[in-house]
Structure 1
Amino acid sequence: MKFGEVELLQIADRLLCDRTGEHLTDIEAIVLQGSWQKKKYEDIASEANFNPDYIRGTIGQELWRKLSDALGERVEKRNFRTTLERHWQDWQTSHPHALSAVKEKIEIVTNSRELERPHIEQPFYSALSQAGCLVRIKAPWQMGKTALMTKGLNYRKSQGDRIARLSLRLAEASDFASLESFLLWFCTSVTEILAEENQTVKHWQSKLGNNKVKCMTYFEKYLLDDEKPLVIALDDVDRIFPYTQIAGEFLGILRTLHEQAKTRKIWQNLSLLIVHTELYEQLEINQSPFNVGTQISIPEFTSEEVLELAKLHGLEWEEKQVNNLRELVGGHPYLVQQSLLDLARGERDFVTLRENAIADGEIYGTHLRRYRRYLKQLPHEIIAIFNKIYSAETPLELQSYQDKEQAQKLYYLGLVQFCDRAVFPRYQLYRDYFH
C-alpha cells in the first residue's frame, strides 16, 4: 500500500494514542496535512483561520515534540515524512489490519462536512450572533463538537470579527500549578493568537488587585476593541476539571466576563464559545457558566441522515441496512462515519464488520479503548453502577438517588441511556465490548 496523507495521519494518530492515550487534535491534523503538502506555516494558518505565530510556535513545536517523544527520535517539519513512513511500514508488517481502525483525520470532524444539519446549525448561529454571548456546545466524545465550533467561527470570521481559538489540551502541567500561572498562560495564548504585543508580565507586575482582576483588566486594556468584536472559543474545557481550585476560579471568571456585557458596552464585544463533554458540578449555581448563556446539544444522526450519508459514500442502502447499523452504533456521528467509510471500500460486508466489531484492531478500536482508559480513572462508586448496568440483561431500575446521580455522569459521557426510571447501555457495540 502506498504511503499518503491518510496513512500519515493514521500512523501519527496511532503512535500518539499508544504513547499518551490521546488522539491527534484537529488543529494538529491540519498542521500535519499542510506540512505533507509542503505548505508554509503561514499558508496553513491562513487556510485554518489561525494566527501564523500560533501555528508555528505553539501547535507546530508541540506536535513535533510529541511525535519525537512517541518515536524516541527527533521529528521535525523537514524529516517527518520519511520518519513516519518508516514507522508505518514497520507497523504494517506487524499489524496488517490495525491501521484501518484509526480515525481518518482528513475528515477532521466526526460529522461529514457534506451533511447539513440546519436544526442544529441555525439556532447555533443565531445564538453566536448575539453581542456579549456565551454559547456552550456540549456532547459526548466524537459527536461533532469541534466541527460545529469550526463552522461557528468561520461564520463569525465572515462577519469581520476577530477569532481566538484555544484548546485547553495545549496547556502543560506547569500551567496548572496555580491560578496565576494558568491565567498568565490563558492571557498569553489569546494574545499570541491575535498577534498582539504580549504585555502580560508587565501588566501582572504593575497592576493592583488579585489574579482574577488582573485577567479582566488585561482584556479591557489590551485585547478588547470598541470596533471589532472578539470571539474566544475554548475547546476541551474538561481538561481543567481535575484541577478543582483553578477550575472553579477560571470558570467563575468566564461567567463574570459574560455578565459584564449587561452593564459595560466594551464587554459586549466579547463572545465566549465553550466546548465540553462533562459539567463541572462543584461550582455554586451563581458562579457557574454552565447555567447561563445558550447550550447547544448535538443529537445523534437520525435514520434519514444515516441514509443520506450512506448515499454520499456511494452506498445503495435502504431502510434495512440503516436499521442494521443503528442497532449496532445508534446514530453516533463518529461511529456511523467510520462504519460507512469502511463499508464504502467494498472489502467486506456489514455482517463481517459486525462479527469483528469489538476486536482490538478493528475500526472502533481506538474509540473503545479511549473509554476503557477513562473508566479506569473514575471513582469506585461510578464503576460499580457501570458494572451493574452493563451486566444486567434488561434495563436496570435505579433505586437510590446516589445511584441515579452516578448514572447521570455516565450519561454525560455517552455510555448509557435512560428510559423513564430505567437505564441501559447506550449502544450494542458498547454492551458487547464492556460486557
Structure 2
Amino acid sequence: MDIKDVLEFTDYLFFSQTGKHIDSLQESILKGTLDGQKYSEIAEAEHCTEGHVRNVASELWQNISSALGEEVNKYNFRRTLQKPNFSITSSSFTKEFINVSNINFCYSNIQQLEIMNNRLAPSPPETSQTQNQSTIINLIEAPELTTFYDRTSELTTLKQWILEDHTRLITIYGLSGIGKSALTVKLIEEINSEFDYIIWKSFNNIPTLSTLQTELKDFFSQSQQTLLSTVIDYFRNSRCLVILDDLQDILKSGELAGQYLPGYEDYSKFFKQITTSPHQSCLILLSWTKPIEIANLETENSSAQTLNLKGLGEEATEILREKGLIDQENWLELITIYQGHPRWLKIIASTIIELFNGSVSLFLAEQNDIYLGDLEPGLESHLDRLSKLEKQVIYWLATQAQPVNISQKPANLVLSKPEFMQAIQSLIRRNLIEKVEGGGRSLFLLNPVFKAYIQFHTTDQLYSI
C-alpha cells in the first residue's frame, strides 16, 4: 500500500467535507494508523499531548466517514480502503467526474485514483477459509465451541485491549480445562470483522519458531500479490489476529515455570519483537503457565497484557443444569468446592449421576474431604511438570491448615530464602497457589483441590526429592 496515494485520497475526502486540506498532524495520524501506532506514540513523535491527537483524529475520522457514507475509525481504516466497493467508474452525468463508493471526484484525478485502487484492492480470498468477504480465517487447529458459559467480564476486557488499546501481545493463562480456548473462540466470533486475517495454531506438534513463521507467512501471502519478508511485515501491512494455543508444550518440565525447551529459546525474542515493534495486529498466547519474559514485558510495555483465567461463579450452574443434577439449593456449594472449574464440574457431575442418581445433597453428605475420582489424571499432568524446589514447597503448603505468610522461610524446609521465593513465584505462575489478603499482609494458600490430591497420595511415591 503506497502511503502517498492514501494521503492524497484521504485529502480529497477531507477537502470535500471541509474545504480544507489535511495538515501535518493529520498526516501523521494517518501514517501512524497504518503503521499500527498508538495515539500516545503519535503524540510523542509530534511533541503534543495524547488528548490533542485524539481530538484531531476524531474530527478526521468523522469527516472521512461522512465522505464515504460509512463509519471509519483508527481500527478499520486500512480495511475500509481495501474494500472491493472502492471501484472507479465514469459518472453517467458527466465524464469529468468519477465515482468511488458514490463519492464524485474530479475526472482529472482519475488516473491516480485508478493506480491507488489497483494497489489497495485485495485478491479474492480462499472460500474454504473465509467467514466473510473481508476476513480470511483459518481455525482448523482450534477446538470446536459446542457450549459457552458466560464470560462477559473477560470478553469485555479482551475487546477493550484489542479494539481500543491496540494491545499487541495478550497472554491468557490458567489451569487446563478452565476455558481459555472456549473464551478465545467466542472472542473471535465477536470481533472477526475487525481483522483481515485470523489464524489459530497449536503447539501440540512443538513447531520450531522457523516452522511457525513459515506457516504464518504462507497463510498471510495467499491473497496478496507481493510477498513480504517477515511476520512483522505482514502484521504491519494487514490487521492480523494470531492465536497460539498450548504454549506450555514448548516449556520445560522439571524446571521452574516458564523456561523454554532447548532450541525454542528464540520464541522469547519473537514475543518481545511482537510487543515492542509498531504494527496493527495482535498475538494471543494460551498457556497453562505464564512465561517468564511475558511477566517482564508487562512491566516494561503497555502493549503486553495478561489475563489469568479463573473459574466460573454462578454461571457454572448452567453446567449442572445441562447435566441434569437435582438439589439446586446445594449447587453453589458444589461449585465453590470445585472452584467453578468447568471441566472439573462436568467430571464430578458425571460421578454424581453415576453414583447418586444426580443428587448433589447425597454426594455432599458427610463428606469431609474433597472427592477427586476422575479428576486425578488432569491434576497429575500439572504436578508432573514441577521442579524439585516446587515439589518441596508445595508439599509443605499441603500441610498448612491456613494461608501462610512467606516473609520468613519455614525452618523445616532445606531451601535458601531466594530458592523458597522462586518456588512460590513459580507456583503462582502455574495457578497452583493463590495470594490472598489478610490483616494488611499478603498470604498464600495451595489450591484446595491440589491440596486434597497431595494429601491423599503417598508423598514418597509422587514427591520424593
- The bucket for the TM-score relative to the shorter chain is 0.5 to 0.7
Partner of 2:400: 392
**Paired amino acid for 2:343:** Y
Partner of 1:433: 453
**Aligned 8 A contact 1:238 1:276 in 2:** yes
Q: Tell me, yes or no, if structure 1 residue 196 matches structure 2 residue 231.
A: no
Partner of 2:179: 144
TM-aligned CA deviation for residue 252 of structure 1:
2.4
Task: State which structure, 1 or 2, has the greater radius of gyration over its C-alpha atoms.
Answer: 2
What 5-or-longer segments of structure 1 have no aligned partner? Answer: 1-41, 61-104, 173-181, 204-215, 262-266
Q: How does 1:259-270 map to 2 (within 5 A)?
A: 259-261=276-278, 267-268=279-280, 270=281
Q: Tell me, yes or no, if structure 1 residue 166 matches structure 2 residue 201.
A: yes
Compared with structure 1, are the counterparts of its residues 117 and 279 closer, same or farther at alpha carbon in structure 2 (3 Å cutoff)? closer
Corresponding residue pairs, total: 301
Take 1:284 and 1:311, find their aligned partners in 2: how far apart are those partners?
38
**Aligned 8 A contact 1:310 1:317 in 2:** no
Q: Could you give the per-residue CA deviations for residues 258-313 of structure 1, whole angstroms, max 9, x where no partner exists?
A: 3222xxxxx22x221122232332689469888742222323222x2233443344
* Pairing partner for 2:306 from 266, 286, 295: 295
Partner of 2:150: 116
Identity, in percent, stands at: 14
Partner of 1:183: 209
Q: Tell me, yes or no, if structure 1 residue 365 matches structure 2 residue 376.
A: yes
What 5-or-longer segments of structure 2 have no aligned partner? Answer: 1-125, 253-259, 410-416, 456-465
**Paired amino acid for 1:183:** L
Structure whose residues are more often helix by fraction: 1
**Aligned 8 A contact 1:164 1:231 in 2:** yes
**Aligned 8 A contact 1:143 1:332 in 2:** yes
**Paired amino acid for 1:190:** L
Take 2:160 and 2:294, find their aligned partners in 1: how far apart are those partners?
28
Take 1:323 and 1:129, find their aligned partners in 2: how far apart are those partners?
37
Q: Tell me, yes or no, if structure 1 residue 271 matches structure 2 residue 290.
A: no
Q: Tell me, yes or no, if structure 1 residue 253 matches structure 2 residue 254.
A: no
* Pairing partner for 2:170 from 111, 116, 135: 135
For the aligned residues, what is the CA RMSD?
4.0
TM-aligned CA deviation for residue 339 of structure 1:
2.8
TM-aligned CA deviation for residue 384 of structure 1:
0.7
Partner of 2:16: none
**Paired amino acid for 1:278:** T
Q: What secondary structure does 1:166 align onto? A: strand
Q: Could you give the per-residue CA deviations for residues 176-210 of structure 1, whole angstroms, max 9, x where no partner exists?
A: xxxxxx332011221344473999xxx9xxxxxxx
* Pairing partner for 2:431 from 384, 399, 414: 414
**Aligned 8 A contact 1:278 1:413 in 2:** yes
Compared with structure 1, are the counterparts of its residues 364 and 350 closer, same or farther at alpha carbon in structure 2 (3 Å cutoff)? farther
Length-normalised TM-score, structure 1: 0.57
Partner of 1:20: none
Partner of 1:99: none
Q: What secondary structure does 1:330 align onto? A: coil
Partner of 1:235: 245
**Aligned 8 A contact 2:311 2:341 in 1:** yes
Take 2:295 and 2:145, find their aligned partners in 1: how far apart are those partners?
39
Compared with structure 1, are the counterparts of its residues 313 and 128 closer, same or farther at alpha carbon in structure 2 (3 Å cutoff)? farther
**Aligned 8 A contact 1:192 1:198 in 2:** no
Take 2:328 and 2:424, find their aligned partners in 1: how far apart are those partners?
35
Length-normalised TM-score, structure 2: 0.54
